[in-house]
Each structure stands twice: as C-alpha cells, then as structure tokens.
Amino acid sequence: MIETIKSLLRRPEAGSILSLIGVVLFFVFFGGVDLGTLLGAASWVNFAANLGIVAIPVGLLMISGELDISIGALIPAGSMTTAILSGYYDLPIAVGMAGALAVGVAVGLVNGLLTIRTSVPSLIITLATLVAMQGLVLSGSVLLTGNASVAVTAPEWAKFLFGQLIGGSHQVIIVWWVVFAVLIGFVLHKTRYGNWLFAMGGDRVSARNAGIPTNRMTIALFVLSAVSATFVGMCQAILFNSAQVSGGMNFIFNAIVSVVVGGVLLTGGFGSVIGIFVGTITFAIVSQGIYFTQIDRNWSNLIIGVMLLAAVLMNQSFRELALSYWRGSKQSVPRAPIQP
C-alpha cells in the first residue's frame, strides 16, 4: 500500500490532483459551498473547456522548453476571421472556419520558424506576434467592416458541432476538450513523439544529436498551439453569434497557471496531459467557484497566487522524488561481470 502511494506521488500529475482536492475542500469547509452544487455548475466547466483546449498545447510547448503567449491575440483573431468572412461577406460558414484555422497555421509557422532559425527566445518571438496580431485584427476589422464588432449567424450543423448548449447550459466545446485531451494524451504518453518531446525538454542539443527532428517538432508544436487558439475563437463566434477584436489576453495568464498547477515545470522535460487537464479544472474551480461561496471576491487573486506557489513547490518536490527513484532503480540493476 505504501509503495503504491509512493508510486502515485512520483507521477507528474500528483501535484495537480492534490491541488484539486485541496481547493474543493477549502471551498466546502471555509466557503460554505454545497459540493453537489459546485460540481454540477456549468460556469466553471465551460470556462475550463475553453481554457483547456489552449492550455494543453501550451503545456506541450513548456515540456519541450518553449513558450507561446501569442494565443492571447489568436483567440479574437479566430473569432473575427470567422465573423468577417461568414458574417460580413456572407460566405459559407465552412469558409469562415477554414479561414480561422488557416490564420492559426500561418502564425504558428511564423513562431516556429523564427524560434528554430534565430537565437531569440520563443517568449520574445511570441510576444512580438502577440502585439502584431492585436494590431492586425483591430486595424483589419475596422478597415474591412468599419467596426470592432461583427455579427455572424451560423447554420444548424455548425451550431450543433461547435456552438450549441448541451442541457441548456453546458457548451459543446466541452466534448471537444475531452476528445482533444485523450488524443494528445495518447500521443504524448504512448508514442515515440512523446518520448521525443520529453527529450527535447531535458536537453535539446542531446536530443538533436540522437536523431530527433527537434526543428520539425518545434514547428509542429507552435502550429498546434496557434490552431487551438483560433479554434476556440471560432467556436466562441459561432456560439455567441458575434466576434469582438478585444478579449483573449486573460488566456495567456490562465493557461500558464493551469499548466504549472498541472505539474509541468517551467524548465521543461516534465509533465503530463492528465496533469494539465486536472490543473485546468482546478484553476477553473478557483476562478468561478468563488462566486458560489461566501468569500469576498477580492480574495480570489490571493487564492490563485497561493495555489500557484504551492503547485510550483509540490511539482519540484515530486520531480525530485521521481528522479531519485529512477536513479535508485538504475543503481539496483545488477551489472554483468567484466570478462577477463
């Protein structure tokens, strides 16, 4: 039993699970929240789904040792592209959706190519594309439509797949989030691409010398991150029947916090999709669950800050525990005798 517990604590998602349990217990005992009401609320689930689709690829980039903050501008870019093409110009909704995803591919390629071909850190590169895309979305919208807000009406099939409310309150994007998490989790933990990703985060030079296509992997990760952001923006435009040039900036901070709470180290090479998934849920409950409590809303940022600090400390401790176990296992393997 003790060995089983130790084995679970060595996993990257251990800290996120403990954080989630701690947050729920805090709200129940100190916030006076009914557990059934909290777990059944649609607000934090919808919040987590929109955030989670962005947080997973951001987490993959952080595992590989990179970072993408351009997502803050790509979410409104995806919304506005869909609305301008299919709302203002009255093109088929499929054209607007394809345009939104194409914007994500283009920006992801720019981020990836600049990262592998220059010595500039990805944080600075994606900061530049963040600012550039903000200006492009605003100026492009005003130039093409004369407004910073554009209406769009999607047909029933698009509403059904990307913008309907299940049960009257839960957004269909929740389904996309779960499917996306399962798919990426399988790739990360069950295929060679996941091994390559962890190797890149551990030591990129050694990974390249070992034959891992680090440049192609880096570009693919940036494209995945950008497309995920524009996909979320596209879904929001279809759901709300309109798009705004503002919004999306909070996703940068929220995604990074969710990923760190989920057990991913800022230094790279350590993390899991399960952890990111649970970390997103934890952050969503903290952000939205406080409205179900008797706690002053002004304390929410303090709770988030304490939770983030605790998560960083726990993640580092669990990583050291896992590494110490791995080293011990290596040393305990009997060596073959040296032949004379």
pLDDT of res. 332: 39
- Whole-number pLDDT of residue 121: 95
What pLDDT is attached to residue 221?
Answer: 97
Cα 265 vs. chain centroid, distance in angstroms?
A: 14
**Residue 290: what pLDDT?**
78
Q: Can you tell me the distance from the alpha carbon of 123 to that of 46, in angstroms, rounded to the nearest whole number? A: 28
pLDDT digits (tens, 9 = 90+) for 237-285: 999 999 999 888 999 999 998 998 888 887 788 889 999 999 999 889 8
CA dist 48 and 288 (Å) reads: 10
CA 236 distance to own-chain centroid: 16
Residues 68 and 223: beta-carbon distance below 8 Å: no
pLDDT above 90: residue 168: no
280-284, 293-297, 300-304, 326-330: segment of lowest average pLDDT:
326-330
Higher-confidence residue of 303 and 89: namely 89
Whether the Cβ atoms of residue 226 and residue 108 lie closer than 8 Å to each other: yes
Q: Enter the pTM of the model.
A: 0.90
Q: Quote the pLDDT of residue 330.
A: 46
- Mean pLDDT estimate for the chain: 87
> At a CB cut-off of 8 Å and minimum separation 6, what does 290 contact?
27, 31, 297, 299, 300, 303
Looking at residue 32, the DSSP 8-state letter turns out to be -
Question: Is 1.20.1510 the CATH number for 11-320?
Answer: no
- Give me the mean pLDDT over the 44-66 stretch: 95
pLDDT at residue number 74: 97
- 336, pLDDT greater than 60: no
Contact partners, residue 69, CB within 8 Å, separation at least 6: 123, 126, 127, 130, 252
pLDDT of residue 217: 96
Output Rg (C-alpha) for the chain, integer angstroms: 21
Residue, of 33 and 99, whose pLDDT is higher: 99
- Predicted confidence at residue 326, as pLDDT, reads 47
pLDDT, one tens digit per residue, over 96-141 is 999 999 999 999 999 999 999 999 999 999 999 999 999 999 999 9
Indicate whether 91 pLDDT > 80: yes
Q: Is pLDDT at 335 greater than 60 in this prediction? A: no
The full DSSP string for 195-220 is HHHHHHHH-HHHHHHTT--HHHHHHH
Q: How far is CA 11 from CA 6, 226, 294, in A?
A: 9, 28, 35
Q: Has residue 188 got a pLDDT over 60?
A: yes
Name the residue with higher pLDDT: 38 or 311.
Answer: 38
Instruction: State whether residue 92 is helix, strand or coil.
Output: coil
Q: What is the mean pLDDT of residues 181-206?
A: 93
Residue 139 CA to residue 298 CA, distance in Å, equals 35
Q: What backbone torsions phi and psi does residue 244 show, to the nearest 5 degrees?
A: -125, 150
> Please, where are the H alpha helices in 118-213?
122-145, 156-158, 173-190, 192-202, 204-209
As a dihedral over the C-alpha atoms of residue 172, residue 242, residue 129, residue 277, rounded to 10 degrees, the angle is -20
pLDDT of residue 5: 61
Is the pLDDT confidence value at 318 over 50?
yes
Is pLDDT above 70 for 182? yes
Q: Where are the alpha helices (DSSP H) in the chain?
A: 2-9, 14-30, 35-40, 42-63, 71-83, 93-117, 122-145, 156-158, 173-190, 192-202, 204-209, 214-240, 250-261, 273-289, 300-332
pLDDT at 314 over 90: no
Domain ranges of the chain: 11-320
* Mean local confidence (pLDDT), 79-91: 96
What is each CA distance from 37 to 42, 288, 289, 295, in whole angstroms? 10, 12, 10, 16
Q: Is 171 helix (H, G, I), strand (E, B) or coil?
A: strand
What gap in Å lies between CA 16 and CA 103, rounded to an integer?
33
Among residues 11, 18, 17, 41, the alpha carbon closest in space to that of 285 is found at 41
Rounded mean pLDDT, 28-46: 81
Q: Is the pLDDT of residue 294 over 80?
A: no
* Angle CA 122–205–13, to nearest 5: 65
Q: Name which residue leads in pLDDT, 339 or 211.
A: 211
- Segment holding 151, helix H or strand E: strand 149-151
